[in-house]
Amino acid sequence: MDAGRSGLIVMKARTVLHFALSWWLLVTGLAWADSAGEALTARYQALRPQLETNVYGAPIHIESTEDGELRRGEVYGVLTHSFPRLSEALRNPREWCEIALLHLNIKTCTHEKRDGADALTFYSGRKFYEPPEKAYVLRYAFRVDAARTDYLAVTLTAPSGPLGTSDYLIAFEAIPLGQATFVHFRYAYRPSLTSSFATGGYLATLGSGKVGFTVTGRDRQGRSEHIGGMRGIVERNAMRYYLAIQAYFETRDKSSAQRFERWFDLTERYPVQLHELEKPEYLQYKFRERRQQDEHQRALDAAAR
C-alpha cells in the first residue's frame, strides 16, 4: 500500500472517529438534559405544597447541607417571569455580573474570555464599601450546561478562594411553568482550617446572633428557632443571590439605582436573617461599586479589542 493511500485511510478513520465521538457527546448531553429536566420537574411537584404555603410569604423553599467538608445552600422558587426571557438573559455572563453586584459582599464583578472560555471574576469583601483592590478575588469558569426550550442549566466553578477555601460552586437550573419559571439555585464551597477558624471567631462574636432559614425547633415562647453556624451562612448567601436574580428580572428595564433598591427591599422581608445595613448606607456603597465595576469592565473590554 502506498503512503498516499495509507494516509487517506488514516484521515477517513479519524473523521469517522471524530463524528462518532461528537454524536456520542451530543446524545449523552441530550440524555443528561432530559434526566436533569425531569428531576427538576419531579422536585417541583414534591415541593409544591411548601411553595404554596410557607413562612416566607413567597413561593420559596430553602435547604442546606454539610456533605463532608462541603457546605451547600439551596433555594427553590417560582419567579413570575417567562422561561424564554429568563433563559435568554442567564446564558450571558455579562448579566450574571449585574446580578452578583447586588449582593452586599460583592464589590465588583467582571467578565471576559480566558483561553476561549467565558470567565467571571468576583471581588468579595466586607459589607461596607471596599475597592476591588482590597477585596478577595474569586475566579469562576462560566458554563452553560443546557439551554433548551424546556430546561436551562448554568454553572460557575472556582477551584480556589480566600484563606485556602476551595470548590466554589454557583449552579442555576430552571424549567418553564406556563408564564412563570421554577428555578433551583445552589451555592457551595469547601472551607479550610484557616477559614473555619476565622468563621468560628466571627460566629462567636459579631455573628453570634446570625441564623439561617431552616427551622430547627421552638423556644419556650413558641417562637421558631433557626439553624446557625456554617449552614446558616450558606443559607443566607444562597438567599441573597436568589433575591438578586429576582430583583434583576423585576428591574431589568430600569436603572441600577432602582435595582439596588429592589434588592434591598426584598432582603428586608427577612430582617432576622438578612439585615446588615440601613438602606441609605447600602445604596451609597453600591453606587460607588457600580462605578468601579464599570471602570474595570471597560478596561477589560478595551484590552480584548
Q: Is residue 22 situated within a structural domain?
A: no
As a whole number of angstroms, the distance between CA 56 and CA 272 comes to 12
**Is 33 contained in some domain?**
no
Say if 25 falls within a structural domain.
no
Per-residue pLDDT of the chain (305 residues; tens, 9 = 90+): 555 555 444 445 454 444 433 333 333 444 556 889 999 999 999 999 999 999 899 999 999 998 778 999 999 999 999 999 999 999 999 999 999 999 999 999 999 999 899 999 999 999 999 999 999 999 999 999 999 999 999 999 999 999 999 999 999 999 999 999 999 999 999 999 888 888 777 677 766 678 989 887 777 777 777 888 889 999 999 999 999 999 999 999 999 999 999 999 999 999 999 999 999 999 999 999 999 999 999 999 999 88
> 283 CB contacts (<8 Å, ≥6 apart)?
257, 260, 261, 264
Backbone angles phi and psi of 149, in degrees to 5: -70, -15
Residue 44 lies in a domain: no
CATH code assigned at 276: 3.30.530.20
Asked if the structure places residue 16 within a domain, the reply is no
Number of domains in the chain: 1
Predicted structure pTM score: 0.87
How many whole angstroms separate alpha carbon 162 and alpha carbon 166? Answer: 8
Is 3 within a domain? Answer: no
Q: Could you tell me if residue 85 is inside a domain?
A: yes
Rounded Cα gap, residues 201 and 89, in angstroms: 39
> Residue 155's domain spans which residues?
59-304
Please report whether residue 47 resides in a domain.
no
